[in-house]
A and B are shown apart, each in its own frame.
Chain A
Amino acid sequence: MANLNAPPLHAATRPVTAVARYVASTLGLATFIGAWVAVTSLRLVPDTFLPSPLAVLAKIVELTHEPYAGSLLQAHLLASLHKFGVSYLLAVVVGVPLGLLMGRLRSVEWAISPLFELLRFIPPIAWVPFSILWFGTGFLAPTLVIFAGAFSPCVLNAYRGAKSIDKPLIEAAQTLGAKGWTMMSRVVLPAALPHIVAGLRVSAGFGWQSLIGAELIVGSTGLGYMIVQGESNLAPAVVIAGMVTIGVIGALIDYSMRALEDWIRRDWGH
């Protein structure tokens, strides 16, 4: 009868011991890296196609003290982060209040949502040509693209957050005389915060990806520019080194936003 008290088995699966999982995970990684090493060291593909993992590591180290495509790896990274930070902030500062307003005031919702629906289906990267025409090829060029990527998740989540607030909560605040700015800042914003922060995380991911896309096409600094230069110089080690950096930074951005989300969610008791 011990079985009756056993923990329920997971849906589809047989239980696997922790050791077996650990071994399998290590094996998986080993297969991946082993295949990479084998392919490159057995000369199955030329160096101009795929460099070995060691060569990529060496390249990353080299890039930190020898400039490539005009600057060091750190400088490219800082340039990318700078562009990302400015445009992302802009998208949040415009998008979140707009979303909250759309959630609270029906006339704003009715006025904005048709335009919003029209623009939503244009991939952010498709704004690159107009951003070149409007802002030139300088530092500002990717701003519009990042903004286009980060804006709509901000708006949508703030809107959903404002819509999902308990009616009694709003009514209670109204009974106590809250309206306008007080209502927005003291009731709506805090209540919608968990939704908003979830939107900020999605936005950050889209924004980062859009930035890289924009830098591939326009600009003369940044990680995207660096890997595109690596491509035209037939230097796959530089390209992969750049991709690794992009991946690590993307993961870090996602991780910190997730931490923020968890923290807010815990504090706001949702």
Chain B
Amino acid sequence: MAAYPNRQSTTSTRARRGASARRRVIAASCIAALLASWYLFTGPLGLITSIQFPSPQNAYDCIVQLIGPGYAGATLSRHVLDSTELVLLGFLAATLTGVPLGILMGWSRMAEAYLNPVFQIIRPIAPIAWIPLTILWFGLGTTAKIFVIWLAAFSPAAINSYTGVRNIDPVLIAAARVHGASTRRVLSQVVFPGALPTIFTGLRISLQACWMVLVAAELVGSFAGLGHIMIIATRDLNPGMIFVAMACVAILGVSLSVALARIERWAIPWRT
């Protein structure tokens, strides 16, 4: 059978191959059209003025300036490192506190009953709305930013850990118990691995929230970082710098998500 694949499957593969080729053509031409209209509108046609949106040349100049002499008090690498460091610290703090708390709430009903009302009161307040209060408390420095990032990342991490523990098949826990596993062993070898996929879902949401809140916090007040570049560039009416900073935010956001996905694959090898 393998040597003579039936006719239907060949046509369908051919159709699929044709479709994916068409897909690439359409996607590529769309992006090409976008780039072309970017060049035309900002350059030769002059429909978009240089204080509304940068031309490609302008954007390139801004990148060069940012890498070389620097902008808004530091060079690009300094700003990027600053922002990344804050996100990672806040995210780490949220993971180390939120995940254990979520597991505890999922494991013990009393803990859930005790902690849940407070959690429910604080949760509806958008993390971004905490920014002014944290500035009052800790000033414009790094402490305020780490605190607010922690706050934003905490609840997705905790809620998903909780859900993960709650959704574990009770039979698995009962089976481990029947075989004489201690509570500690059940937690570390049944509950935690069982909840891990859901926990990672929460961490992914957390990471995005971290990134968003960091940019907001840097826009509201900061001394360095990508948000800081944006707000200085807005004051200077320099859309090229805004554009470059936005691109950096997007690229870093993607890289962090990809890194987390790598860690997830490494941590949960049994999940395909």
Contact = CB atoms under 8 A, between A and B. Distances in A.
A204 B85 CA distance: 30
A93 interface: no
A3 interface: no
A8 B86 CA distance: 45
B265 interface: no
Contacts of B234: 128-129, 132-133
A95 B229 CA distance: 30
Nearest to A114: B27
A14 B135 CA distance: 43
A238 to B, nearest CB: 9
A250 B123 CA distance: 10
Interface string B108-145: 11100111111001101111111111011100000000
B113 A126 contact: no
B231 interface: yes
Nearest to B231: A129
B107 interface: yes
Nearest to B25: A110
Interface string A106-120: 110011111100100
Given A13-B109, A248-B124, A115 B31 contact: yes
Interface in A182-234: 208-209, 212-213, 216-217, 223-224, 227-228, 230-231, 234
Contacts of B98: none
A247 B128 CA distance: 11
Nearest to A16: B109
Contacts of B113: 16, 20-22, 24-25, 28
A242 interface: yes
Contact of B135 (A49, A118, A217, A231): A231
A246 B170 contact: no
Nearest to A217: B219
B51 A133 contact: yes
Contact of B136 (A11, A234, A248): A234
Question: What does DSSP make chain A's interface, helix, strand, loop or mixed?
Answer: helix
A73 interface: no
Contact of A16 (B110, B133, B220): B110
B92 interface: no
B67 interface: no
Contacts of A27: 114
Given A11-B173, A28-B115, A243-B129, A121 B30 contact: no
Interface in B161-217: 165-170, 173-174, 191, 208, 211-212, 215-216
B153 interface: no
Contacts of B26: 107, 110-111
A28 B53 CA distance: 52
A123 B114 contact: no
B129 A28 contact: no
A69 to B, nearest CB: 12
Interface string B240-267: 0010011001100110010000000000
A32 interface: yes
A208 B125 CA distance: 10
B30 A216 contact: no
Contacts of B126: 208-209, 212-213, 246-247, 250
B63 interface: no
A11 B168 contact: yes
B220 to A, nearest CB: 5
A85 interface: no
Contact of A123 (B130, B137, B253): B253
Interface of B: 19, 22-23, 26-27, 30-31, 34, 51-53, 106-110, 113-118, 121-122, 124-133, 135-137, 165-170, 173-174, 191, 208, 211-212, 215-216, 219-220, 227, 230-231, 233-234, 237, 239, 242, 245-246, 249-250, 253-254, 257
16 contacts: A11-B173, A12-B191, A16-B110, A21-B109, A27-B114, A32-B121, A49-B137, A106-B23, A126-B215, A130-B53, A133-B237, A212-B126, A239-B132, A243-B130, A250-B125, A250-B126
Given A28-B116, A239-B132, A251-B124, 20 more contacts: A8-B170, A12-B165, A22-B113, A25-B114, A25-B117, A28-B114, A28-B115, A112-B30, A113-B27, A123-B215, A123-B253, A125-B216, A129-B219, A134-B52, A212-B128, A216-B131, A216-B216, A236-B133, A246-B129, A250-B124
Q: Which 8 A-B pairs have the closest CB atoms?
A: A231-B132, A24-B113, A247-B125, A123-B212, A251-B124, A209-B126, A110-B26, A28-B114
